[in-house]
Amino acid sequence: MNNIFLLINLILNLINLSFCNNLNNNNEYKYNVFPKIIKKVMPAIVNIYIKGNKYDNNIKNKIYNFIYKNILKRKYFGGLGSGVIIDSKNGYILTNYHVINNSNLIKIQLYNKKELQAKLIDFDTKVDLALLKIISPFKNLVDIKISDFKNINVGDQVIAIGNPFGLGQTVTFGIISALGRSGINIHGIENFIQTDASINKGNSGGALINTKGELIGINTAILSPTGVNIGIGFAIPSNTINGLINQIKYYGKIKKYNIGIHGITIDNYISKKNNLNINYGVLIKEIDANSIAKKCGLLKNDIILYINKYKIKKFSDLKYILFINYSYKKKTILKILRNNINIDILIKF
């Protein structure tokens, strides 16, 4: 009997030793892998400094404004942000449009502190992204690989790199808290990654990367009553980034298309108010004249239920999926409900 107890005790000790060794190995991997990834990626992240001017619309007298427009109405300002090198050969950098808006001078500071001048190539205000090109002589730039959005999951560990408050390149850690967030950029295209990695003023345009060192998002905004990070940050996802890159590849530029639909999300309240028997989709309230929607045969009071196989749960879904399909030149069929009759409509961008 004693021999049996001794054998059991020996087995338990061996299991415990194996577990501890595995735990130590995992911890060693966990804490050693991040510095290697960061060292690899840091050269692809840049600090952005701008100078520019904008007009003060508080001056109401039109004649006064016209006479003194270039003296009194113009306000000079400086700003800062971050950017990501996406093409090292040609010197292309991606950042948020709001970082460089109204700028007339854009300076890029590389990881090695070297400063270069850049210019705005193109932008899309709806997704808040801008493409810059370095115009100063450069060499030995490093770019970053863009991750496939299909590989991004809630709970994944992420690293945010940027230039908060102008301090210089700063690294913070967190996880993906949620995907498909909307309600932040109401008038634009929304499908944000939510993260608790610390993002502050100056981080805009910087990188959100995965544990492989791939770009999964461009840090864009925070939700905070004080303007300081409270663990709710948002990044533009990699499929939106690739969408803009594809537009440049297919069309030669970023095309600002507008399908011309004004609508509302059908929830329980809207469904009841309009005597509908569904609680999802988008109810079209208005269609712009000469718009894509008008030319394709959409009508006021049509209800958009699906785009291809994707169920439309809210208006932001509609805008985002149309943007992706347009960017990737995908065939786009809207499944709509018109007077209780199901109809398919082909969208021609």
**Please, which residues have CB within 8 angstroms of residue 54's CB and are 6 or more apart in sequence?**
74, 75, 77, 102
- Other CB atoms within 10 Å distance of the CB of residue 257: 17
Known catalytic membership, residue 56: no
Catalytic one among 124, 128, 196, 302?
Answer: 128
Planar angle of CA 80, 122, 333, nearest 5 degrees: 120
Catalytic one among 98, 147, 196, 316?
Answer: 98
The span from the CA of 152 to the CA of 176, in Å, is: 8
Known catalytic membership, residue 128: yes
Torsion (CA) 152, 153, 159, 163 in degrees, nearest 10: 70
The span from the CA of 311 to the CA of 348, in Å, is: 20
Catalytic one among 204, 238, 316, 327?
Answer: 204
Bridge partners of residue 257, in order along the sequence: none
Bridge partners of residue 335, in order along the sequence: 306, 344
Known catalytic membership, residue 98: yes
Tokens of 305: 């239920």
Instruction: List, by residue number, the catalytic residues.
Output: 98, 128, 204
